[in-house]
Structure 1
Amino acid sequence: MPKVIGLTGGIATGKSTVAQLLSAHGFKIVDADIAARKAVEKGSEGLQQVHALFGDAAITENGEMDRAYVGEQVFYDSALREKLNAIVHPKVRELMEAEKNAWLKEGHHVIMDIPLLYENNLEDTVDEVWLVYASESIQVDRLMARNDLSLEDAKARVYSQISIDKKSRMADVVIDNLGTTLELKQNVERLLIQKGFLEPYSTEE
């Protein structure tokens, strides 16, 4: 019976890397970020609604959503963020649901890659939740390095989500990403063997 796994974490915990590792083992990835981009792509109804809410500054010269501008507007304004979510989230769910069902129909295990799974109360839409864990200090360090952010900005982004420690207590499975990429790969493979998705490696010659 194909399984639906919710994959989540916090910003800069390494969730995308885990999604790539799972994809290499045959899981089909349904990515919330890709669906969110499709929901407001050029010419879409979603983009028209964003334009109506934020004005001309929210649209780039080539007719796409200016993600940086919109992100800045909603980051410190929760009321505006809720209005944006009311536009985007229903469309994202519809797109993800259709993709998930298509893969399940073909008999594949599906990973629902949802960064804000707990923030949006989506844990009941999957069979299990797997969380990629890195400490908050590691999240901040990785964010500063990856996005060239100040300490203050990196912390603001980390603290805008439910804390990774709280999420880890809610998840069915916690995937440790405190170490190297190789250690993460080994942790994922151990989990897949434990869950019966992967055959244990033979040590015989």
Structure 2
Amino acid sequence: MIIGLTGGIGSGKSTVASTFEALGAGWVDADHVAREIVQPGEPALALIIDYFGENIAKPDGTLDRAALRERVFSDSAQRLWLESVTHPRIRERLTDQLAALSRRAPYVLLVSPLLFESGQDALVERTLVVDVPTELQLSRTLARDGVSEEQVHAILAAQLPREQRLAKADDVVDNSGDQAHMRRQVERLDSFYRTL
């Protein structure tokens, strides 16, 4: 069984996924896979450099993610082009990794900030949204990522609005409280998922 775990930026998806992992679940992070497919030597990186120019790469040949983020979040056409190159490659790797984990765990989480937006929800049987108020998303992201408030708002604008994400959820974890509050919700869901 594959559960799609999503939430807006700064909602605590990785923390929730790690809590499930401590209970025996497996998980694959779409963001990690997205970084893998643009490593030096990967076809996607070559296409990105051809499209955006050499200045989108750092001197060591790795992708300048900050420069790319600035370009694509200020121009939706460029973001759509980037997604057309990366999303199919991400989906293929995710499918392989999920299949491998499914053989070893009672259920597997596909952790993806763009679960619904990218169509990755087609890979899962259930969806779980990690939810926090928008103000908390903003403050957590600013503290964690060292990006501007303008960039955080651009990222939020590219993600499904909170209300729509919640409407698509089969399950919700409210991650606006303390760790113990979150852990109790995860433990309850873990018990439920094992019965499915």
What TM-score, normalized to structure 2? 0.92
* Amino acid aligned to 1:197: R
CA change 1:50–1:148 in 2 (3 A) is: closer
Looking at structure 1, the residues matched to 4 and 193 of structure 2 have their Cα atoms a distance apart, in angstroms, of: 17
CA change 1:151–1:58 in 2 (3 A) is: closer
Q: Which residue number in structure 2 is paired with residue 30 of structure 1? A: 28
CA change 1:46–1:155 in 2 (3 A) is: closer
Looking at structure 1, the residues matched to 43 and 154 of structure 2 have their Cα atoms a distance apart, in angstroms, of: 31
* Amino acid aligned to 1:128: R
Q: Which residue number in structure 2 is paired with residue 164 of structure 1? A: 162
Secondary structure of the 1:197 match is: helix
Q: Which residue number in structure 2 is paired with residue 53 of structure 1? A: 51
Secondary structure of the 2:116 match is: coil
Matched, 1:178 2:183: no
- Choose 1 or 2 for highest CA Rg: 1
Aligned residues: 195
CA change 1:102–1:187 in 2 (3 A) is: same
Q: Which residue number in structure 1 is paired with residue 99 of structure 2? A: 101
What TM-score, normalized to structure 1? 0.88
Shift of 1:152: 4.2
Looking at structure 2, the residues matched to 107 and 16 of structure 1 have their Cα atoms a distance apart, in angstroms, of: 18
Shift of 1:41: 0.8
Structure 1 unaligned spans of 5+: 199-205
Shift of 1:58: 1.1
Q: Percent identity?
A: 35
Matches within 5 A, 1:46-195: 46-106=44-104, 108-193=106-191, 195=192
Q: Is the 8 A contact 1:139 1:158 kept in 2?
A: no
Q: Is the 8 A contact 2:21 2:27 kept in 1?
A: yes
Looking at structure 1, the residues matched to 167 and 78 of structure 2 have their Cα atoms a distance apart, in angstroms, of: 30
